[in-house]
Amino acid sequence: MGRLGHWLGKALLGVLLLLVLWQAWIFVQVLWWRTHNPDSTSFMRIRAEARRAAGRGDVLPHPWVPYAQIPDSLKRAVVAAEDSTFVAHHGFDWEGMRKALDKDVRRGRPVAGGSTITQQLAKNLFLSGRRSLWRKAEEALITLMLEATWSKRRILEVYLNVIEWGDGLFGCAAAAKHYYQIPVGALSPSESARLASMIPSPRYYDRHGETERLLDKSDTIESRMLMVTIPR
């Protein structure tokens, strides 16, 4: 038993060392992306692999748009739709998470999100789409890394440039071109609200267009846009 315990202790130490090294590697990338734009994300690579397997080609080009060139209407629309307390919190919206949990309990299954923009970005940059306690723990740790080292302005800039907006479609520049045939800087408030309303189910709306539900949600988002604060 003594020898077995010795080897089990070594194995555990090895696993812990690997976990520390993995988190250190993630932190190095977080620091690098504080001033350098990511070419791709874990979520993009997953989508690209699925598209290639289905014979649909790679993801579409996604030109980077600096924060100052993204219209305030889109920033406000996305914050209003996804994370109204984005500027005030430190990565987690505890009240929003409580409400999401209450809704899940009432319906007997996970239906509500509750994730902040920073949490969504952490997942998109590094993690898979599979749900597990380990993935949630990883997401929480990366969220803390992002909030500790990036400005809110940088978090929102990267988020708007990497999130999915359709089938193989990532980033606000690609979305504006795909849906409205215009540069992102020319988006109107109503167009910005419609793009923001697509975020929870982008591939669905890419296939089905501007449904009545989408338009209703867009109207609600547009009415809230001036009530939220965005990073300057």
**Residue 64 forms part of a structural domain:** yes
- C-alpha 159/C-alpha 149 separation (Å) is 15
**Residue 4 forms part of a structural domain:** no
**How many domains in the chain?**
1
Contacts of 82 (CB under 8 A, 6+ apart): 116, 117, 120, 196, 199
Q: What is the pTM of this model?
A: 0.89
CATH number for position 172:
1.10.3810.10
Task: Band the pLDDT of 188: cuts 50, 70, 90.
Answer: very high
**Residue 53 forms part of a structural domain:** yes
**Beta-ladder partners of 169:** 166
Report residue 62 as tokens.
């996604």
**Residue 37 forms part of a structural domain:** yes
**Residue 104 forms part of a structural domain:** yes
For residue 133, what pLDDT is reported?
Answer: 83
**What pLDDT digit, counting tens, does each position of 22-56 carry?**
899 999 999 999 999 999 999 999 999 999 998 88
**Residue 181 forms part of a structural domain:** yes
User: In degrees rounded to 5, what are phi and psi of residue 151?
Assistant: -80, 160
**Residue 232 forms part of a structural domain:** no
The answer to whether 66 and 153 have CB atoms below 8 angstroms apart is no
**Residue 109 forms part of a structural domain:** yes
Which residues form the domain of 184?
A: 9-227
**What pLDDT digit, counting tens, does each position of 74-104 carry?**
999 999 999 999 999 999 988 766 666 666 5
By percentage, how much of the chain surpasses pLDDT 90? 71
Contacts of 137 (CB under 8 A, 6+ apart): none
